[in-house]
Amino acid sequence: MLQSLGADTVQVRTRQDLNLVDALVMPGGESTTMSHLLSTSQLFDPIAERIKDAMPVFGTCAGMILLAKSIADGRLDQRFYGAIDIDIQRNAYGRQVESFETDLDVEGLESPFHAMFIRAPQVVRVGADVEVLSMHEDKVVLARQGSVMVASFHPELTSDSRIHSLFLQEV
């Protein structure tokens, strides 16, 4: 998706890879496994430093969980960045079979965005400095604070690049 918008991309697997990027996308997946892999690969702390230094970062689904200030139902050994002032509940929209698609009104977009929610996290608290960009059934599903943007859905699974364009405006 980012390449289709003209961005050069690198898969970040090492500290050397991290040094090559100006921004980072933290994708969906399983947040406790991602937390573990970030620690064992010794990437957690260098990424935390870059986020602290205002590197733009976009977290989708599990990436949103890792960027949150608090995880209501996370594992005790799960690490997260606390980069955006939101609290998250993992898999709050239900199991895999309860995944769904819906159209969302998004701040800055002229027409609705078709979003896919797959075992999605739910924002259970939003800090005062967080800009809410979209809601679904009275729950925040897209937000931004400073250089951090998060989505509880998977914008990369559509052919619509507008959410990624919003993120690239920060880079």
Residues identified as active-site: 61, 154, 156
d(CA 103, CA 68): 24
- Give the torsion through C-alpha atoms of 74, 44, 30, 109, to 10 deg: 100
| 93 φ/ψ angles, rounded to the nearest 5 degrees | -85, 0
Q: Which residue has the tokens 């260098």?
A: 46
What are the distances in angstroms from CA 171 to CA 47, 54, 146, 152, 165? Answer: 16, 10, 12, 21, 10
